[in-house]
Structure formats: C-alpha cells, structure tokens
Chain A
Amino acid sequence: MTILDKLRHCRYGVVVLLCGFAYGCSTPKYTTVREHPEFQESKAQFKSLAVFPPDVAFQHLVFNGDHQSVPEREEAIAHELAALLPGLLAARGYEVKEFAFEEQAESDSDFAFEMSQLRDAYGRVSIELYDRALVKESESRSFDKSVGTVVNQFCARAQADGLIVTRYYGFDKSKGMRAKEIAAAIAFAALTGSYPMYPARGSAVEVAMLDCVSGDVLWTNAKSNQADNTDVLDWALADLPKI
C-alpha cells in the first residue's frame, strides 16, 4: 500500500494533504545562487564572456593525514572544465570570446601575478558571498560585491563584456581512509544506533560571472556532488539566466 493509498483510506488524508500544500506554499525556497541587485536588468549587456582559466585543486586523502595534491588530475579537470564552459554558456545564449590567458602568463610573469591577484580577489569576495550555503530566493538578488578593476586587463585582451571565473575542488580517498571511516561509522552506530555515511569521493564547484568594467560579481553559484568528476559544473550553470 502506497502512502497515497493509506491517505485515501484515512479520513484525515485530505486535511493532511492540504496542510502539506499550504506548508509547501508558505515555506520560502532556498538557493545557492547569488546575484548582483542590477544583474537581471542589465544582463543583456553581458552577452560576450571570456572564460578565465579554472582554478582546480584535487586531493587524494590518505589515512596518515599526508593528503596529496594530484597534479595530473588537476590538470585534466581544469582542461575538461575549460572545454565544457564555452558549450554550456553558448547553450544559455552567451557568446564566448577566446583568449589564451595561460600562454600569456607563461611568457609574462606580471600577467601571471595579475591572474593570481584576480583569483585572490575572488577568493576574498567568495568568503562573503558564501558565509552560508543557502539563502532565501528573495534574498539572492541583493549581493553587491566586487573584485575591483583587476578584472579590466583580462577583459580588455579578450574583448569581452563579462568574465567567467571557476573554482573547483575535488577529492578521493585511499583504501585505508575508507576503512577507517567504515570502522568509525560502525562504532558510531554501536553507540547511537544510526550509521553515518562518509562519501568516498566528492567535488564542489563555484562559477561566477564578473562585470568586466567594474569587477562586480554579477552572478555566482556553487554546487557539490559525491563524485570526483565535472558533472557539478553543469548543475551550477543550469541556474544561469539565459539571454
């Protein structure tokens, strides 16, 4: 017997359902998206976007705490994200302008430093944007933050209206780490009766669109996933308004 069947046989079923709908209607919706107060009105001005090289960190978590960065994975994921972004943005109506930021940085240490400065600036802003993961949808369009004019030089080179900045973190765990977590979960279950789940791998992404002139963060979203691949990027960009 399904829940609906039970409700059908229950004289209070209809009342319960109505209460449920009423609760659903009155409960505010929450979102991970943050928008600049003027983005909805001005989004048409940001038709052309340049894609800043994704900032990727990937760690292999091990039992003895000596967690290791995995440069090969980081490089592969950064490459994959950079390849995915133009298609995902184009699908939402944006025109993607190409510029070889990394090649430029290899031959120009000052340019490389400015790239680091932009990443740092976004990192600082991100802490304020995501001091909590979820906000009410009604509040999500009130985030007035800027990375400053450090963004200008990148946009000037790419001839774009906006710049897409992406940060990705992924991890997987060694067998030893997994064994420890299973043992801890069993011990926790013995004490409390509930069995905690620890993901064996995971990823999180944050994508932001910056105004090329003012450096304002126009739109940003953050998503996480219990998989160490790039699927999470698609989810994050699914909420980006189409133009």
Chain B
Amino acid sequence: MIAYLARRTLATIPTLIGVSIVTFALIKLVPGDPAQAILGPAQTNPQALAAVRHSLGLDQPVTTQYWIWLTHLVSGDLGVSSQFRVPVATILFGKVGNTLILTVGSLVFAITLGLALGITTAVRRGSRYDRGAMFLSLVAASAPVFWIGILLSYLFSIQLGLLPAMGMASATEPSTPLTLLQHLILPAFTNSVISLAVIARIVRSTMLETLAQPYILAARSRGFSTRRVVLGHAFRNVLPDAINITGLQVGYLFGGALFTEVVFNWPGIGSLIYNSIQARDYVMLQGAVLVVSLVFILVNFGSDSARVALDPKAAG
C-alpha cells in the first residue's frame, strides 16, 4: 500500500507540472496583445505599450515568464481577476467548496440509484422492467447534461413548483441545511445522471455474473429468501466492482459539473468559469482551470488509493 502511494505520488508530480505548462500555454494562446487590451485600442504610443508589456513581464523569454508565473502560483498568488479586481485565489476556494457540495450530492444519487437499478434489473433479467430501464439509462447517458437539467427544471420547478430552480440558497429565507438540500436536489440529480447510468450498467453485469455462480444456487437450495440471497450473498460479491467503478466516477462528477452549475445557477467553480469566459477574465479562467485540474487529480488519487486499499489486486 505504501509502495503504491509512493509510486502514485511520484508519478503525479510530472503530471502536475505538465498541467501547469498547459494552463500557462492557454493564456499565451489568446490572440491579441494584452498590453493593448489593457490600454485600449485608442492607445498607439509604442512606448506606453512597451511600458505596460514590461510591467506584465511580457518582454521576457517565455520560459522565464513561465517560471515567474509558477513561483507565484506555488506561493498562492494566482493573479488578479480582471472582472472582480481581487486576487483570484480569494474567490476560487469558496467556489470549489460549493462544487464539492454538488459533487457529493451527485455521488449520493449516482450510487444509491445506480446500485438499486443495477441490482433490480439483474434480478429481473429479461423482464420489461429490465429492458425498459436499460434503454432509459442509455438514452439518459446520450443526452446533454444541460438539456436534462433544463427539462427537470421545467418539470419540477416550473410546472410542479416542487423544487427551486436557481442558486444554492433562497433569496428570501435564511439559509438552513434544509433550504440547501432543497436547492441541491435538482442540480445534484442532473449531474448524476450519466454516472448513474454507468454504475447501473456495471453493477447489473457483475450481478448477472455473480447470480450464475454455484453458491447462489446452493444458497437458494437452502431455502433462503430472494432478499437474503441477493443482498447477503450476491451483493457482497458485487461490492468490490461497484466501489471500483464509483471511484472512477468521482473525478468525472467533479469535473463535469460545469453545465449543471450554469443551468441551475449554482455558485460553484463551473459557473465561475462560464462567467469568466463571458467576461474575458483570462486570469480567473486560468486559475480556475488550474484549481479544478488539481482537485481532479487529487480526487482521482484519493479514490484510486481507496480502491487499492479495499482490494489490493487493483494496484496493477
């Protein structure tokens, strides 16, 4: 286990460096002259432009620029947002927290519904319920996340008035865990749909394999009820695979929250990225991409380690 952790950590370092390079390069991709952008198109005095370029460090070779940027990064300075005029770092971490809340909510939906669906369709293999559920999950997995969000928002919020459609908290009532939960349900479910479908599919297939095992027939021959056989014996042997696939989904859920946040106006890092694009706040965008990647890598590292801890064979 220790060996696995050490290996993984070592392997992550070059990846992190690579990510920082890519993120840095992204800003360099933006066409146009940043100095011109700051001073405005009217300013044509070459010295004024050169002065601004110098203050931005743009007259240095690219590698030096990267190094300067990296050192700032490591000390927590991610630059100043051009739309909010405050350091990027101060805004980012609160937003990450909100996205994590959304991710956890999505995970809960994905796991519980995915397991339930996977187990019940396996036990009722070939039935209309099974075929219907599998088809529906295929459709859901083929649909754009934002469209699902819009549809659900229309059905449950606008038509039925059951759940709020926007934001994380109510504008009128004080914020309580209950109101948070209310606001969390639709976006969390929307974000979970694809993972739900994947988990259901894998659980179903593992379940089918397990149900064909001799010890399941033997258990039934001992007069065990279906519930005891399925939950006590079949499920127990399906669990490792289920945990495996869930671990793989966690990172995806975090990184894929962007569309959900936009549709439901959830104040997380996805919304932030969207707004930064609209406002051409590239510094914020860069910081956000970096932080999301970092969290993505950490989350995957964590879930992979948990998987290996539970099932040492997975370390391969």
Partners in one complex: no
